[in-house]
Structure 1
Amino acid sequence: MGDQLARGEEFEKKAEKKLTGWGLFGSKFEDAADLFDKAANCFKLAKSWDKAGATYVKLANCHLKLDSKHEAAQAYVDAAHCYKKTNTTESIACLDQAVILFCDIGRLSMAARYYKEIAELYESEQNLEQAIVYYEKSADFFQSEEVTTSANQCKQKVAQFAAQLEQYQKAIEIYEEIARYSLNNNLLKYGVKGHLLNAGICQLCKGDPVAITNALERYQDLDPTFSGTREQKLLEDIAAAIDEEDVTKFTDVVKEFDSMTKLDPWKTTLLLRVKEMLKVKEMEEDDLT
């Protein structure tokens, strides 16, 4: 490890010396780039991630001097992947630089991919607001390249986090849009009832029984096979419990569904919000009587 670190520092020194020297027709940048690349590899082998990241940024700058935007973008990506192990902020900054360059040279699918990676980094930091921003950017780019499956995966993340942040209408619109798209795709048809269930749970969180009833009618028009499913029955029964302000009924309905189909943490969190809302309503009713 120590040996690799020393080798890396030696290559880096040589590269810096090349840059301060005189070179013919940009050859000093080519020579320096070669040396920075070797230095970064040595730093990676020594697991000196910050040094490797910083060296890849220097390599990117050399490529920019040579007007090699694709190579510069790739160097920024390499820098980001080193920084990912130690410094999320630096990793995101490098990926952002890479995306700008990929956009410049028309590599939109690469831009989409790295926007998604930025979103995942924000997600890992529990920064849901920024994760939404970058998943949306990624979805737009994937959509423009007609990579609809990847676009929808990103949109589902947006909907998931929007609901967690109580932006229910935004989440509803996304889930309904994905359900409509999935209906026309034989491979994705099986997932439609799941998207409609998610949209319905977001409707429930808004606490408007009329809106929930209208939504359920819309979902049955959209997908006639939704009618009679356990998902549809769950939403209908919860809507009735909200209308009747009956917490016990709500709890029984959710328990019964969960015993057959395990509710994931996201659904559980949202349904607990609905339950709390119901409890408040029930207490208000008790206070009035």
Structure 2
Amino acid sequence: MADQEAKGYEFEKKADKKIQGWTIFGSKYDDAAELYEKAGNSYKIAKSWDKGASAYIKLASCHLKLESKHEAASAYVNAANCYKKTNSQEAVRCLGLAINLLMEIGRLSMAAKHSKEIGEIYESEENLELALEYFERAAELYRGEEVTSTANQCQLKVAQFEAQLEQYPKAIQIFEDVARQSINNNLLKYSVKGYLLCAGICLICKGDTVAINNALEKYQELDPTFSGTRECKFLSDLAVAIDEEDVVKFTDVVKEFDSMTRLDQWKTTLLLRAKNAVKAKEVEEDDLT
């Protein structure tokens, strides 16, 4: 590893010297680019992440001098991959530079991929507002390139974040829109009940039983098979428990569903919020009597 770091240092030093000098034949930036790439690769093998990132940023500068925007974007992505190990904000900055270049040359699918990557970095740091922003940007770019399934995946992440931030109407709209888009697709139609369940759980969090029952009717019109599903019964039973302000019944309904279909962390968090809201109402009722 130490040997690879030393090699990286030598390559980088030679590249710096090329940049500072002048040449009669060829381009000093071409020569330097080759050396910076070797430096970056050697640092990467040595796991000297910050030094590797720095070499790739210098490589990007050379490609920009040579007006090779695609290669410069690739260099910034390599820098970002190094920074992901040590400095997430620098990783985001480098990915942002790559995205700008890719947008300029019309490589929108790649720009979308890296926007999604930034969203994932912010998600891992639990910065939901910024994660939401970048997943939404990725979804728009993918949709513009007709990459519908990946656009929908990004939109579903947006819906999850919106719900976590208690922006339930926005989340409900996205889940319902994706369900509507998927119903006539033979590959995607089996996911529809899951999307409608997510939309329904957001409605449960709002605690409006009239809206929940209206939505269930609408969902059955959208997907005639929905009325016979465990998901539909689950939402209907939860609505009854909310209407009756019965925490025990709410808990039992959730436990029964979870024993048959495992609830993920996102659904569990939202259902716990809804349960606490029912509990608060129950306490309020007891205080008044």
Where does residue 100 of structure 2 map in the other structure? 100
* Separation of aligned partners in 1, 2:253 and 2:25: 75
Correspondence list, 1:49-88, <5 A: 49-88=49-88
Equivalent position amino acid for 1:269 in 2: T
Displacement of 1:228 in angstroms is 2.2
Query: Is residue 119 from structure 1 mapped to residue 119 from structure 2 by the alignment?
Result: yes
Equivalent position amino acid for 1:181 in 2: Q
* Separation of aligned partners in 1, 2:52 and 2:181: 44
Displacement of 1:45 in angstroms is 1.7
So what's the TM-score if we normalise by structure 2? 0.97
Where does residue 152 of structure 2 map in the other structure? 152
Where does residue 29 of structure 1 map in the other structure? 29
- Do the aligned residues in 2 keep the contact of 1:237 with 1:253 (CA within 8 Å)? yes
Query: Is residue 248 from structure 1 mapped to residue 281 from structure 2 by the alignment?
Result: no
* Separation of aligned partners in 2, 1:230 and 1:221: 17
Query: Is residue 229 from structure 1 mapped to residue 229 from structure 2 by the alignment?
Result: yes
Give the secondary structure class of the aligned counterpart of 1:173: helix
Equivalent position amino acid for 2:198 in 1: N
Equivalent position amino acid for 1:103 in 2: M
Aligned-residue RMSD, C-alpha: 1.1
Give the secondary structure class of the aligned counterpart of 2:106: coil
Where does residue 40 of structure 2 map in the other structure? 40
So what's the TM-score if we normalise by structure 1? 0.97
Correspondence list, 1:209-288, <5 A: 209-288=209-288
Displacement of 1:274 in angstroms is 0.7
Displacement of 1:26 in angstroms is 7.0
Where does residue 198 of structure 2 map in the other structure? 198
Displacement of 1:29 in angstroms is 0.9
Where does residue 162 of structure 1 map in the other structure? 162
Displacement of 1:25 in angstroms is 7.9
* Separation of aligned partners in 1, 2:279 and 2:157: 30
Equivalent position amino acid for 2:162 in 1: A
* Separation of aligned partners in 2, 1:261 and 1:267: 12
* Separation of aligned partners in 2, 1:102 and 1:142: 14
- Do the aligned residues in 2 keep the contact of 1:73 with 1:97 (CA within 8 Å)? yes
* Separation of aligned partners in 2, 1:189 and 1:270: 25
Displacement of 1:142 in angstroms is 0.5
Where does residue 12 of structure 1 map in the other structure? 12
Query: Is residue 176 from structure 1 mapped to residue 176 from structure 2 by the alignment?
Result: yes
Equivalent position amino acid for 1:107 in 2: R
> Which consecutive segments of 4 or more residues in structure 1 shift more than 2 A?
23-26
- Go from structure 1 to structure 2 and tell me whether the alpha carbon gap of 1:45 and 1:88 turns closer, same or farther (over 3 Å shift): same
Equivalent position amino acid for 2:104 in 1: D
Instruction: Give the total of aligned pairs.
Output: 289
- Structure 1 portions without partners, runs of 5+: none
Equivalent position amino acid for 2:80 in 1: A
Give the secondary structure class of the aligned counterpart of 2:23: coil
* Separation of aligned partners in 1, 2:286 and 2:6: 75
Equivalent position amino acid for 2:35 in 1: L
* Separation of aligned partners in 2, 1:91 and 1:265: 28
